[in-house]
Amino acid sequence: MCSLPVPREPLRRVAVTGGTHGNEMSGVYLARHWLRAPAELQRPSFSTMPVLANPEATAACRRYVGRDLNRTFTSSFLTARPTPEDPYEVTRARELNQLLGPKASGLAFDFVVDLHNTTANMGTCLIADSAHNVFAMHLCRHLQLQSPELPCPVFLYQLPGEESYSIDSVAKNGMALELGPQPQGVLRADLFLRMKSLVGKALDFIELFNQGTAFPAFEMDAYRTVSRVDFPRTEDGDLAGTVHPELQDRDFQPLRTGAPMFQLFSGKTVLYEGEATVYPIFINEAAYYEKGIALIQTEKFTFPVPALPPLSPDP
């Protein structure tokens, strides 16, 4: 496996983005909280900037007002000539690219942690782009070891060859926290506190790295996308059923050939017909109905993560 180069300098410019989706309330209120109390985010070797990523969607308590901001950080959106017809989020993505990037440049932020909620029963999910991202894998491992009371499954979202499109992709490196279940527009105290604690631990990891700590090699278990599965539909495209009760809330659990997958309004059950056991996630996520996604099928795999060598002391 070819690994991305790990940082050879301390990470000095770090951001935490919340409200990338304006109705995912843990990140919305953590960003607002830290904008008032930024000292909580500082560490001896670096500063962290809190960012309310999508203020208009947050004010409207909607995922977005024009288009999904977190699918808008591709080169075609970021580099196109601005026009008055651009959706708000296209303009906002360019602003954020100036603030935290520019993407793929030496001027970009060193790390971005992006904060999300899901209506699915995904618990404390850590999202990174791929297994090649050794630094992010060590950060995920640190969060798992520091939160022994919580399963913290790692989801690697990027399909082979797919261009990165998420907000953290404008920085040199990044990851997302995906906590659920939490309804859109609801702020649960338990998830707020859990997310706050996880961000603190992520910053502690960066501080340890900046101070010259070495992190040994390990084996990582993770989930990666196999395919996205739509709801059963009528001929005119409306829902013909929904997730089966035996699959609902079973994110990260194995789904085997012949197990119930959907229940039609007619009462009929649709079975999973794939040959390989898959691990569905984002099961019945509210925001994905419009994307035609009832769940994401993942495969579970294990891979070696090489040691993260210590930074040399400053000359």
Whether 306 and 134 have beta carbons less than 8 Å apart is answered as yes
Does 189 help bind a copy of itself (rule: CB under 8 A)?
A: yes
Compute the distance between CA of residue 105 and CA of residue 102 in angstroms, rounded to an integer.
6
Q: Pick the closest to residue 167 from 97, 252, 85 (CA basis).
A: 97
* Interface with a copy of itself (CB under 8 A), residue from 91, 146, 164, 248: 248
HSE-up of 235 (CA within 13 Å, CB side)?
A: 0
Q: Which amino acid is residue 170, in one-letter code?
A: V
Q: What single-letter DSSP state applies at residue 302?
A: E
Q: For residue 131, how far is the Cα from the chain centroid?
A: 14
Compute the distance between CA of residue 171 and CA of residue 158 in angstroms, rounded to an integer.
16
- The nearer residue to a copy of itself, 58 or 169, going by C-beta atoms, is 58
Q: Give the active site residue among 56, 85, 163, 178.
A: 178
Whether 133 and 107 have beta carbons less than 8 Å apart is answered as no
Binding pattern to a copy of itself, positions 113-152, x when CB under 8 A?
Answer: ------x---------------------------------
Q: How far is the CB of 262 from a copy of itself (least distance, A)?
A: 8
Does 27 help bind a copy of itself (rule: CB under 8 A)?
A: no
- The nearer residue to a copy of itself, 266 or 302, going by C-beta atoms, is 266
Q: Pick the closest to residue 111 from 120, 125, 100, 96 (CA basis).
A: 100
- The nearer residue to a copy of itself, 213 or 234, going by C-beta atoms, is 234
Does 97 help bind a copy of itself (rule: CB under 8 A)?
A: no
Count of residues near a copy of itself by CB under 8 A: 34
- The nearer residue to a copy of itself, 37 or 217, going by C-beta atoms, is 37
Tokens linked to 268: 């009929």
Q: Which amino acid is residue 23, in one-letter code?
A: N
Does 3 help bind a copy of itself (rule: CB under 8 A)?
A: no
Q: How far is the CB of 84 from a copy of itself (least distance, A)?
A: 24
Stretch that binds a copy of itself, among 92-100, 101-109, 148-156, 186-194 (CB under 8 A): 186-194
Q: β-pairing, 47-52 with 13-18?
A: parallel
Residue 39 burial (C-beta neighbours within 10 Å; 0-12, 13-18, 19+) = exposed
Whether 247 and 241 have beta carbons less than 8 Å apart is answered as no
Does 59 help bind a copy of itself (rule: CB under 8 A)?
A: no
* Interface with a copy of itself (CB under 8 A), residue from 11, 14, 29, 280: 29
* Interface with a copy of itself (CB under 8 A), residue from 147, 197, 242, 277: 242
* Interface with a copy of itself (CB under 8 A), residue from 1, 59, 61, 214: 61
Whether 50 and 31 have beta carbons less than 8 Å apart is answered as yes
* Interface with a copy of itself (CB under 8 A), residue from 188, 201, 228, 300: 188
Q: How far is the CB of 265 from a copy of itself (least distance, A)?
A: 5
Whether 9 and 174 have beta carbons less than 8 Å apart is answered as no
- The nearer residue to a copy of itself, 193 or 307, going by C-beta atoms, is 193
Tokens linked to 136: 């992010």
Catalytic annotation present for 299:
no
Stretch that binds a copy of itself, among 3-11, 122-130, 157-165, 180-188 (CB under 8 A): 180-188
Neighbours of 104 (CB within 10 A): 12
21 annotated as ligand-binding: yes
Q: Which residues bind a copy of itself (CB under 8 A)?
A: 29, 32-33, 61-62, 119, 181-190, 192-193, 238-239, 241-245, 248, 263, 265, 284-287, 289-290
Known binding-site residues for Zn(2+) equal 21, 24, 116
